[in-house]
Amino acid sequence: MEKVAVLGAGSWGTALAMVLHQNGHEVRLWTHDEDHAKRINKTHQNSDYLNNIQLPQDLVAYSDLTKAIDQVSAIVLVLPTKAIRPVCQQLKGVLTHQVTLIHGTKGIEPDTFKRVSEMIEEELPKDLYGEVVVLSGPSHAEEVSVFQPTTVSATSSDVAKSVHTQDLFMNERFRVYTNQDVLGVELGGALKNIIALGAGISDGLGYGDNAKAALVTRGLAEIARLGTAMGADPLTFVGLTGIGDLIVTSTSIHSRNWKTGHMLAKGESLEEILDKMGMVVEGVRTAKAAYQLAEERKIEMPITTGIYKILFEKADPREVVDQLMTRSKRPETDEVHHMLKKHYNDQ
């Protein structure tokens, strides 16, 4: 059994800490807030983030980063995208031994277009961890924390690191596959949040299942269009971290992105919603990054563009749907379908 630190005591960090604890590891759950750590250790609950969940007595919360990572074999970063750089800067001052570095964060940084693994590599010397592992897939914390069956993927260009991650997390309720396409997995995990905002908007406007199926399917087409143009494997987008995560986030009542879209369609302002949510809604910042990236690379992403305009230009959601429906006619298949077809024909 190993010592593992989970950095980020929100909903997903807590659920992942519980999985590691179930597997017999000594888990340290780190929060940047000393009072939060005290509350968790006193009540054995993290009620701000996971309601009515009892944590094991020996799952200890820390606010001292040096103590939290002392002698750990793995560090799992489970933070909002915007917290990745500052926490890595803190880690740089205190991490002095080799670890497997895993992250469970789903976002892209606006303006720089950096993925999470790229931000980590910019802030933290690689000789401490080698290659980053991404843990991603359709996995709401609310279900993982009550042991509902869940499947994810541990992805790294270093197969030994992804297998280490698989061994740390895998159990009969939490199935972990391995993958090597870090670019495709990170893009799929981040971009699906934008489409989930759209699914919430569609439901909030009172549109039906046909509209949502169309959003998910055409949303996947544009995610894959951008992803393959950037060099990702098109097959990744039809796997757990692509279509799998897109389905769960666009349809689950647990999704913060879906809820945000739903409230926007009901007329609440983005500021009010984010205030009320009290948890990160990654699709908002990532919509900005994806919109900028699509413009720069001249990739057609009409749904992402529409969501960006609703979020940042106060476009009317009904008008955005009308514009999407009345775009010029075209065949359904595009370059991604041709790449997939070629892949299967070459088998």
Ligand X SMILES: NC(=O)C1=CN([C@@H]2O[C@H](COP(=O)(O)OP(=O)(O)OC[C@H]3O[C@@H](n4cnc5c(N)ncnc54)[C@H](OP(=O)(O)O)[C@@H]3O)[C@@H](O)[C@H]2O)C=CC1
Q: Which residues bind ligand 13P (CB under 6 A)?
A: 106, 138-140, 193, 196, 245, 248-249, 254-257, 282
Which 104-133 positions form the footprint of ligand X (CB under 6 A)?
Answer: 104-107
Spatial distance between the Cα atoms of 93 and 30, rounded to a whole number of angstroms: 16
Q: Please name the residues in contact with 187: beta carbons below 8 A apart, sequence gap of 6 or more.
A: 108, 115, 223, 226, 227, 230, 232
245 labelled as ligand-binding? yes
Using CB under 6 A as the binding rule, whether residue 12 contacts ligand X is answered as: yes
Q: Which does 49 bind (CB under 5 to 8 A by kind): ligand 13P, ligand X, none?
A: ligand X
- Are 72 and 4 within 8 A, CB to CB? yes
**Given the rule CB under 6 A, which of 135-143, 164-172, 196-204, 217-225 is the region that contacts ligand X?**
135-143
Q: Which does 145 bind (CB under 5 to 8 A by kind): ligand X, ligand 13P, none?
A: none
Q: Quick one: 52 or 57, whose CB is closer to ligand 13P?
A: 52
Spatial distance between the Cα atoms of 320 and 175, rounded to a whole number of angstroms: 39
- Are 53 and 115 within 8 A, CB to CB? no
Using CB under 6 A as the binding rule, whether residue 78 contacts ligand X is answered as: yes
210 labelled as ligand-binding? no
Phi, psi (5° rounding) for residue 93?
-75, -20
Phi, psi (5° rounding) for residue 171?
-150, -175
Q: Quick one: 200 or 317, whose CB is closer to ligand 13P?
A: 200
Using CB under 6 A as the binding rule, whether residue 33 contacts ligand X is answered as: yes
Of 92, 126, 161, 192, the active-site residue reads 192
296 residue type, one letter: E
Helices (H), 47-180: 65-69, 81-94, 116-123, 141-144, 159-169
Using CB under 6 A as the binding rule, whether residue 258 contacts ligand X is answered as: no
Q: Is 192 part of the annotated catalytic residue set? A: yes
Find the Cα–Cα–Cα–Cα dihedral 46, 49, 50, 56, rounded to 10°.
-30
**Residues lying near ligand X in the complex (CB under 6 A):** 8-13, 31-33, 36, 49, 78-81, 83, 86-87, 104-107, 139-141, 279-280, 282
Annotated catalytic residues are 192
Q: Which residues are annotated as a binding site?
A: 8-13, 32, 49, 106, 137, 139, 141, 192, 245, 255-257, 280, 282
